[in-house]
A and B are shown apart, each in its own frame.
Chain A
């Protein structure tokens, strides 16, 4: 690769660069200003994310690749980038009030969110293992730090350490899988791996299995889901919200790309494995969520269950089906909107260094803060998949794609699980609407209200009128299938 191509490629990754520069600016400016003025870092972060968002839109029209094919800047990546950036943007807005009420350090927090987002974006575009691992670690390390960001809280610190150790373990598994594949094929590019793939060579199979394991850890699916509840519960609630939507979506993006582009040679095999993983993930996530007494922990288990629903769509994409692929992508978008909303309400109700996390913390909220209660209700309905919310349409499409691809049993398991999930989501509403209040709720916080309003309207509006959000997912899925010429 000569210098001029390097230069051209660098220009092409504008959105990523915009975020990285913003992150650096935030880090550099942070120690230079003092006290109240540090709050202005918030605006820098928002502007940076907005610039990244706008630059990213270009990719929907002109898909291209950069760095000799190491990064594929296609509509598929652009769609996932949209999820990451919107997620990060709204999480940042929600964090502003939260950081103040929990008295956290401002500068690093925003920088880490932005760095992590840039890692996700590299991850969603990666078509070879070096870039993949680079993105994977930029994202993960930032999130490890964010999990333990509230140093005064033992649980947050514990979550940070746990995530670091277990995440390191999973990265090692992933890296080992990459090494095996490289050893067998002599290349790290996905298309070349696919061309050389030899199912009778155990190195390929073992490598595939280990790489898959690494991704399964990151999406928080069975059988590597144990870390999710502890870390989601311990981390600051806005961080939990951000990583439950961003990290999960990024892991799904790379899972789809590696599986369909690199390992389509043994598609039938990993598809079966994912079938089992998906069925167990949904069931375990939902069953465990029922008995939780903390809403935050319940939402952690619910996030495991939702990873399972999204995996139904991955299984249904078997053979490179556009419907299945687009249903996963749309599901992750929908999950971003509704789950960020749910965690956002918890963040909104946190005050004076104490998080809102148990059922008692929200009981009777309908009487004091009816609008917040309505927003909470809409998010819970959406998570449970009840119309007219975006959650309903997303789930409907995932199950529809499973039925169309003739995975009837998986669809039935998914629907039964949805029924179970209604129990614990609606329990939140029982507390919110029918119980007496037992705590004093915080006062009105204008900044968070903006984000919550956007999320509530989004959840409801896209549930009534899906508009073009669905077409965008179909187009993005189509562009992905084009890049490697799948059937």
Chain B
């Protein structure tokens, strides 16, 4: 049954791809476009619903099992039987992959439904759903595969789907370019990732989770392996995560990836695919737990990314760009969590983030849809009257991501910040707090500029503004509800006690079975207690929101004067220009690379081609000789045969002494 979670979307992709996107339906069966869209929607959403339903049933089955043996494994067949290297095509359903599967399938389902409304006018409707189903298929392979090679298949597969969907409107060269950029930047990360897999196989002699982690837990086995090797494995895998999950320095593709349709940004570039790196680190928790160096680097990069992306998000004017940088920043939080050893906290933020970031993206999509494609927040404002559902749900998402108490983002972000502090990553903790202020500020700014104040849209556009159809608003409402209540599965025990809940933090208890190493002991002496930490987080959230209110509602003249202030204006320009990272990369890497490529091309033309043509000439002449020997005359052949037989005879008789 497990395998059907994965194969249902594949079947959907095959039907939608082969029958509809290929034109078979229209050209051969002469079906009309209206029924095509209807069938494609039903098939596309239906298969995801099947996946989601099976995942949920499997979740219940898993819960019924004894906590110590909570995993379901299904091996389909041996995929690569090659000497000692055996890879079987099998799936693992334990609490970690269960959480991922539930998030992926249900969020995907909502976004599929949303897409029906959003993409309704598009001519490539069937192609869109085909790609979307392909994406879900690979994403599920990634999270449910029971070996590193299978994870890599999913890893590359989602990369492909992401590329296809970013460049979905490939008529526009800029969008096609964004797709290529995402693909190429990801290659750098994937290169590290596959090297990590090779090293794992080299060290552990296997690539399946079961065997690798069993050996990694065996002190006898590990005593023969230098600690540096495990650090290298952990870091190589993390290079992959840096690419896929858009961390510094490889995050540059994610903002450009917003060229794709907005539901795609919500699904792939916010809720699911980009969190694959976080899942991977959580899955490989054992490697990171034994390597303080790796942890230090992961947390360092994550904290820097979170802060950097948040500073860029402050000044962007494209609604999707703000959300994109916000995603990069939030992914930084998740990596801070899993990097410092608080794997469950990181996963918890992954789940809540999937809810509220999908909500925010879908909300932005609803706005863009209503305004006929407008993405610039300077031309929005005052949309609350026109889009009541969208604005309300967007506000919920904004408050959740800002960490307002009792909403989901509050619990998950607070758990990460608390863990950082308790484990002694004080600098990262401070960076996290500052980022929390920035997050609350730029998200509130985004909400205020979009929905409040004066309507700045032009007259014609205003006439056309309408609330989105129910297929779009319904997912918004569901996600808004999830963003509010999603945090209650992970209420920390010290809070639970106060309210009188006995069984608090069920999320942690459920996931604990998949975290193979006991989490590092908390520091003995804290200067600050639990509640003090919580107060810090709450202050950060309200400070950010308050500042945004003050700046954009109470004194709207501030932004302009800040931008013109000579002291701050350079900072403003830097942030607005995204710290010119793209330009720096362009000079450092792209141009150097092009220059090298030119030299290589010259070498190729002069020397390689020369050699190849030379060899080809020799081969051609040899072939001509052979052809001449083929006269077609029977007696000649018989004679050649006789010579051949004699040669073999002489050779064998003479070779035996």
Interface set of A (CB-CB < 8 Å, partner B): 161-162, 165-166, 169-170, 173, 199-200, 202, 205-206, 208-210, 212-213, 216-217, 222-224, 226-227, 229-230, 266, 269-270, 272-273, 276-277, 284, 287-288, 290-291, 400, 420, 465-467, 470-471
Contact = CB atoms under 8 A, between A and B. Distances in A.
Nearest to B647: A223
Contacts of B652: 205-206, 208-209, 212, 266, 269-270, 273
Contact of A291 (B82, B83, B623, B641): B623
A206 B630 contact: no
Given A229-B630, A230-B632, A290-B619, A205 B653 contact: yes
A467 B77 contact: yes
Interface in B618-657: 619-620, 622-624, 626-627, 629-630, 632, 634, 637-638, 640-641, 643-645, 647-649, 651-653, 655-656
B648 A291 contact: no
Contacts of B655: 269, 272-273
26 contacts: A161-B634, A162-B634, A162-B637, A165-B638, A166-B634, A199-B656, A202-B653, A206-B653, A209-B649, A213-B648, A216-B644, A223-B641, A223-B648, A224-B645, A226-B640, A230-B632, A266-B652, A269-B656, A272-B651, A273-B648, A287-B622, A288-B623, A288-B626, A291-B623, A465-B77, A466-B81
A226 B656 contact: no
Nearest to B640: A226
A229 B629 CA distance: 12
B79 interface: yes
Contacts of B640: 223-224, 226
Contact of B626 (A199, A216, A266, A284): A284
Nearest to B638: A169
Interface of B: 77, 79, 81-83, 89, 619-620, 622-624, 626-627, 629-630, 632, 634, 637-638, 640-641, 643-645, 647-649, 651-653, 655-656
Contact of B653 (A209, A227, A284, A471): A209
Given A206-B649, A269-B656, A273-B648, A224 B641 contact: yes
B620 A291 contact: yes
A420 B89 CA distance: 34
Nearest to A230: B632
Interface centre among B77, B620, B627, B629 (most CB of A within 10 A): B627
Contacts of A290: 619-620, 623
A471 B624 CA distance: 42
A226 B630 contact: yes
Contacts of B620: 290-291
A217 B640 CA distance: 12
Nearest to B89: A465
A286 B647 CA distance: 22
B436 to A, nearest CB: 48
A173 B645 contact: yes
Given A209-B649, A210-B649, A465-B79, A288 B656 contact: no
Contacts of B651: 209, 272-273, 276
Given A284-B626, A291-B623, A209 B641 contact: no
Given A169-B641, A226-B637, 6 more contacts: A202-B653, A223-B647, A224-B641, A287-B622, A288-B627, A288-B630
A94 B463 CA distance: 66
Nearest to B632: A230
Contacts of A273: 648, 651-652, 655
A287 B656 contact: no
Contacts of B622: 287
A173 B637 CA distance: 15
A166 B645 contact: no
Nearest to A221: B644
B614 to A, nearest CB: 14
A368 to B, nearest CB: 15
Contacts of B638: 165-166, 169
A444 to B, nearest CB: 13
Contacts of B645: 173, 209-210, 213, 224
B641 A217 contact: yes
Contacts of A222: 644
A230 B653 CA distance: 32
A252 B623 CA distance: 27
A142 to B, nearest CB: 21
A200 B656 CA distance: 8
A170 B630 CA distance: 19
Contacts of A202: 653
B131 to A, nearest CB: 21
A171 B175 CA distance: 68
A209 B644 CA distance: 11
A166 B641 contact: yes
Contacts of B83: 400
Nearest to A290: B623
A470 B86 CA distance: 14
A412 to B, nearest CB: 15
B649 A213 contact: yes
A45 to B, nearest CB: 33
- The 4 A-B residue pairs whose C-beta atoms are closest, nearest first, are A223-B644, A209-B652, A209-B649, A291-B623
Contact of A287 (B619, B643, B644, B649): B619
Contacts of A420: 619
Contacts of B623: 287-288, 290-291
Nearest to A470: B81
Contact of A213 (B626, B632, B644, B656): B644
Contacts of A170: 641
Interface centre among B77, B629, B630, B644 (most CB of A within 10 A): B644
B656 A266 contact: yes
B560 to A, nearest CB: 60
Nearest to A284: B626
Contacts of A226: 629-630, 637, 640-641
A284 B629 CA distance: 12
Contacts of A465: 77, 79, 89
B508 to A, nearest CB: 39
B587 to A, nearest CB: 38
Nearest to B629: A226
Contacts of B630: 226, 229-230, 288
